[in-house]
Structure 1
Amino acid sequence: MPLSLAYSADFPSFADTVFILPAGTLELPISAAADLPQPIRQYVSDQLAAGEKLICVNQYTHHHYYVVAEEKKTADLQAESLRRAGHKLHAQLKADKVPELFINDLTPNGALALAEGIALTAYQFEGYKTDEKSKKQPDLQLLTLVGPELSTEKVQELNGVLQGVYLARNLVNMPYSHLNATQLANQIEAAGAEAGFNTEILDFVRIEALRMGGLLAVNQGSPEPPTFTIMEYKPEGATNAKPYVLVGKGVVFDTGGLSLKPTPNSMDLMKCDMAGAAVVTGVLTALAKNKVPLHVIGLVPATDNRPGGPALAPSDVITMYSGLTVEVLNTDAEGRLILADALAFAKKYDPELVLDYATLTGSAARAIGIEGIVCMGTADEQVLTELKQAGNRTHERLVEFPLWDEYADHIKSSVADITNLGKAEAGAISAGKFLERFIEGYPWVHFDIAGPAFLTAPDSYRGKGGTGTAVRLTYDFLKRKA
């Protein structure tokens, strides 16, 4: 069972409780020490005076924890420090086998960030273990938030966002043996039925009838058919006349095709190559669960990329859904081919804005590592500024790359309209420049999440494996548009 969140106007005596103390606190406030004997109060005050940021007191019947908020340059960084404090606190909660924790916020607004850090740390992929001993459920099941700035609505909104992140992480962590293109579409359909958005799944016949040449070409070497999933969340009272469209790359496993990837340390991680699709599904789930009054559409082209049978070959020329021809120089640059079909398809909705998400290039990961997301696009500065602000608030930070006209030279072809591979330099940008050729009549932003989408080692509350990165960022951006 995933961790749940609740709100309460007060907290009971003798409950496992964490108190969030303001930055610079040197002495324990009376409100955080009502049931502590004087020697223990003095101990906590001494620890505060010594600069400790996490203090634990075992009262045997219950525990008290004290987290001191840190002074940071911005409110966004203060919130991030509390998320990270939540990660550290979770380790102690796990050791103490705490089933329910009350979070009593004595700062202006810290409980949500601390709870977010605890909850994201508490995530675990249930996987496919059959040994009952290894399937033990975690002790911590409920976080109850207390504070004058809180409400049931605020706490449940965070809970809805966390459910979206959990879902995205689960999808990324599922192996190809349990998540081919058809199974991904079915998972999305189930998520929609549970959260409250509609789903339509286009099968091979309909994809072929639409002449989605990019998706069909990447799928040529696979024994499994492709899918194209359309999600739509359109609540009554939606405030936008034109929909926001989210597009997610759904390569459920990427061998590189005939341009075969090396293994280990490359191909063995490629179950995560559908992380863009997971982002879109997670965002639609969070929006629907929280009943955000916004019309949003999600598009997920999905296939695996295999070298079998009549697989796409380097130097092949294919015709895309838009009608453009592409010379395929490398079959491992396949994500942009399926995204391009979906981006061209998005035009039919006359969208307000299109956002796409993809683990697209190693170039993006090499440029900024796992610490941020590369973005670029044709949307105006106001949109990009709002996205960057959302990224700062959620600490899913954006680094904007240029799409200067000169980069179009990187994808020139002598036999087709464009190639699917640029130069060795600026690889993330030439991939974005490729996608730009399929944008028509709407503003667009591309997010290359190759760095942070899947981590090979634990990183604070993001954990190891699928992170669900960009779900919180996108939700934060969109909810402010409602």
Structure 2
Amino acid sequence: MSAPIKLKSKHQGEDVICIIDGEFSSALDAHITAETKKSLRAKPADWQSFISASSKGITYVNIQKPKDGKNSTEHYRIAGAALWDFMKSINKASVHLATGNESSALAIAEGLWLKNYRFEPYKKKKSAFEIKHIGVQKEISSKKEVDSLIAVLDGIYFARDLVNEPANILTAVEMAKRIKDGGKQAGYKVDIMGRTKIKALKMGGLLAVNQGSTKDPTFSVIEYKPAKPKNKKPIVLVGKGIVYDTGGLSLKPTLNSMDIMKCDMGGAAAVAGAIFAAATAGLPIHIVGLIPATDNQPGPDAYGPGDVITMMDGTTVEVMNTDAEGRLVLADALAYAKKLKPELTIDLATLTGSAIAAIGTYAAALMGSASDATKSKLLEAGTNSWERLVEFPLWDDYENDLKSDIADIKNLGSSPLAGVIIAGKFLERFTDYPWLHIDIAGPAFLPSARGYLPKGATGFGVNLLFSFFKDYK
């Protein structure tokens, strides 16, 4: 369902009208009493709260401006989520954002619609309340920016739906199909490779992880190429597509771990959602997405600790733990990316528990060989989208942990320390171009709802990448 955000020159029958910091447009004067104006302009004790009042059958809400030092856009996103709760409490499903500026109005709309997300295809009884309409005052925003917001929100919903889908339904083959269907809607191409082509490419990492499964792997190549892209060489996005991860023979504990492992393709979903958003918005950026996908199962033919496998680029890897499988499938995709001669490659993956231990669920870990200027732009995009990044070092010292006695490299470090960085050093071996790695294990899938983020899949990475592409060069 596309975000129902529309530009309007005046409100037209909306249930709720939202103003910011007591500012009233001239169009509202005929619909509101002086007494209501006065009550709305009162200052609440908590700067994060808002004041509501009714006048002539319309409910008005006044949202406070952020306190000095607070991120303005994020403040209004959170306010949008709070407004959703308020509208549910009074059972009013349409709102008109009447004052403020473009940034504040669209951020409120963003928070409202992100909060409105539900994943309920398997429920007999659906949620009774949902937002039906969000109007934005025409004088404070532009069609281009509204369409851009709708595109990124649709991309986030697309990614969330992919991650939330149960693994018995969303196999690697089914995920590839849904991404291809998304391409028909948004305007990008998808080439889906099956087992035969994957074998021909000699993708030993992807094939090894798939050995224990009864289901086929896929390798999907997504391409969005507008008529006049800004970049001469493509930006390549790589997304980890482990549709379900038992840990393989290095079996995960079932309690509070394996039960949510449908989320291990969060990187693939972020790549698909970001390209969906970019294509829908018509951004002038040539993007190629690579998604290696399979489940990781402890079947009778499963690869095991102690095995040696040969990757696409000929590198041999001693498998120390079959639950360090994500880096194996990503490595093959990163090696494939060399053929595309990318201007920049960014991979996203729910890769390590170490990233969660280091920074929790509020940010993702960033590292890589791209220039400081490129990193700076991506970090800025993280702040703008509030999908924040924390840069980790990728010093050569860490490479010692990956030395193997019998192969070129191991897939796990020699100690439990710095696991997020060791995983990055493993991936670095398969690149020869400007590259960034984003470990989204913490923020991609939440144990409980937070603000405009739902319990479960958040779609982390879509807004980040879209913000980066929107301001690229």
TM value normalised by structure 2: 0.96
- Distance in 1 (CA, whole Å) between partners of 2:408 and 2:205 is 14
Contact 1:243 1:297 in 2 (8 A): yes
**Is residue 19 from structure 1 mapped to residue 19 from structure 2 by the alignment?**
yes
Residue 424 in structure 1 maps to residue 420 in structure 2: no
AA of the residue aligned to 1:177: N
Letter in 1 for 2:77: R
Confirm or deny: 8 A CA contact 1:3 1:140 kept in the other structure. no
Question: SS of 2:375's equivalent?
Answer: helix
Q: Deviations over 1:170-195 (max 9, x none)?
A: 11100101101100110111111111
Partner of 1:41: 37
- In 2, the alpha carbon distance for the partners of 1:46 and 1:460 equals 25
Q: Which of residues 58, 61, 67 is equivalent to 2:63?
A: 67
Query: Do the aligned residues in 2 keep the contact of 1:213 with 1:341 (CA within 8 Å)?
Result: yes
C-alpha deviations, 1:221-240, integer Å up to 9, x for none? 00001000000001111121
Secondary structure in 2 matching 1:259:
coil
2:106 is the alignment partner of 1:115: no
Equivalent AA in structure 2 for residue 355 of structure 1: I
- 1:56 corresponds to which of 38, 52, 56: 52
Q: Does 1:351 align with 2:342?
A: yes
- Aligned 8 A contact 2:229 2:286 in 1: yes
Question: What is the distance in 2 between the residues matched to 1:455 and 1:214?
Answer: 29
Work out the number of aligned pairs and report it: 472
Q: Contact 2:77–2:110 at 8 Å: present in 1 too?
A: yes
Offset at 1:52? 7.4
What percentage of aligned pairs have identical amino acids? 45
Q: 1:90, 1:115 → 2: CA distance?
A: 10
Residue 101 of structure 1, CA deviation: 1.1
SS at match of 1:452: coil
Q: CA deviation at 1:418?
A: 0.4
User: 193-202 or 104-113: which moved more?
Assistant: 104-113
Indicate conservation of the 8 Å contact 1:204/1:226, yes or no: yes
- CA distance, structure 1, for counterparts of residue 468 and residue 30 of structure 2: 41
SS at 1:331 equivalent: coil
| Distance in 2, Cα, partners of 1:312 & 1:367 | 30
Tell me the residue number matched to 2:4: 4
- State the 1:2 CA deviation: 4.9
Higher mean displacement: 459-468 or 136-145: 136-145
Give the C-alpha shift of residue 13 in structure 1: 6.8
* SS of aligned partner of 2:41: helix
Q: Is the 8 A contact 2:351 2:440 kept in 1?
A: yes
Matching residue's letter, 1:223: T
Distance 1:30 1:151 in 2: 19
Do the aligned residues in 1 keep the contact of 2:213 with 2:295 (CA within 8 Å)? Answer: yes
CA 1:268–1:60 in structure 2 vs 1: closer, same or farther (change >3 Å)? Answer: farther
Aligned to 1:217: 208
Which amino acid in the other structure matches residue 339 of structure 1? Answer: L
Of the structure 1 ranges 27-36 and 86-95, higher mean CA displacement relative to structure 2 is found in: 27-36
Tell me how far 1:97 sits from its aligned partner. 2.2
Q: Specify the SS of the correspondent of 2:76.
A: helix
Spell out the pairing of 1:65-144 with structure 2 (5 A cutoff). Answer: 65-73=61-69, 77-107=71-101, 109-129=103-123, 131=124, 134-136=125-127, 138-144=129-135
Query: Could you say if the C-alpha distance between residues 126 and 407 of structure 1 is closer, same or farther in structure 2, counting changes exceeding 3 Å?
Result: same
What is aligned with 1:202? Answer: 193
Once the two structures are superposed, residues 246-299 of structure 1 have per-residue CA deviations (whole angstroms, 9 ceiling, x without a partner) of 000000000000000001100001000000000000001000100111110000
Matched, 1:150 2:141: yes
SS in 2 for 1:176: coil
User: Following TM superposition, by how much is the alpha carbon of 1:368 offset from its aligned partner in structure 2, in angstroms?
Assistant: 0.2
**d(CA) in 1 for partners of 2:311 and 2:46?**
65
Partner amino acid for 1:424? P
Post-superposition Cα deviations, 1:393-445, rounded to whole Å, max 9, x if no partner, equal 111111000110100001110000000001200000000000000002x1000
Unaligned runs of 5+ in 2: none
Question: Do 1:242 and 1:352's aligned partners in 2 also have CA atoms closer than 8 Å?
Answer: yes
Helix, strand or coil: the match of 2:365? strand
Segments of structure 1 that go 5 or more residues without pairing to the other structure are: none
SS in 2 for 1:201: strand
Cα pair 1:2 1:123 within 8 Å, conserved: no
Residue of structure 2 aligned with 1:304, choices 295, 300, 303: 295
Using the TM superposition, give the Cα deviation of residue 56 of structure 1 relative to its aligned residue in structure 2, in angstroms. Answer: 1.5
- Aligned partners of 2:81, 2:14: CA distance in 1, in Å? 24
Q: Residue 17 of structure 1 aligns to a residue in which SS? A: strand
8 Å CA contact 2:15–2:93 kept in 1: the answer is: no
Q: Deviations over 1:129-182 (max 9, x none)?
A: 2x2xx1256341121111534111111110000000000001110010110110
Whole-angstrom distance in 1 between the partners of 2:130 and 2:307: 55
Q: Which stretch has the larger CA shift, 145-154 or 290-299?
A: 145-154
Shift in Å at residue 28 of structure 1? 7.2
CA contact (8 A) 1:28 1:44 kept: no
2:429 is aligned to 437
Q: Which of 446, 452, 469 matches 1:455?
A: 446
2:174 partner SS: helix
Conserved 8 A contact 2:206-2:292: yes
Q: In the superposition, relative to structure 1, how do residues 320 and 155 fare at CA in structure 2: closer, same or farther (>3 Å)?
A: same
What is the aligned partner in structure 2 of residue 374 from structure 1?
365
Assess, with a 3 A threshold, how the Cα gap between structure 1 residues 56 and 313 changes in structure 2: closer, same or farther: same
Kindly tell me: are residues 478 and 45 of structure 1, through their superposed partners in 2, closer, same or farther at Cα, counting changes over 3 Å? closer
1:87 corresponds to which letter in structure 2?
A
Question: What is the letter of the counterpart of residue 17 of structure 1?
Answer: I
Contact 1:33 1:41 in 2 (8 A): no
Segment drifting more, 6-15 vs 231-240:
6-15
8 Å Cα contact 1:176/1:271 also seen in 2: yes
Contact 1:53 1:69 in 2 (8 A): no
Query: Aligned letter for 2:354?
Result: S
Q: Aligned partners of 1:42, 1:353: CA distance in 2, in Å?
A: 54
Alignment root-mean-square deviation, CA: 1.8
Question: Matches of 2:120 and 2:426 in 1, distance apart?
Answer: 38
Instruction: Give me the whole-angstrom Cα distance separating, in 2, the residues matched to 1:137 and 1:345.
Output: 47
Compare 305-314 and 57-66 and name the one that shifted more.
Answer: 57-66
Tell me what 2:171 maps to.
Answer: 180
Q: Secondary structure at the match of 2:89?
A: helix
Find the residue that maps to 1:148 and give its secondary structure: helix
- Paired with 1:55 and 1:313, the residues of 2 have a C-alpha distance of 60
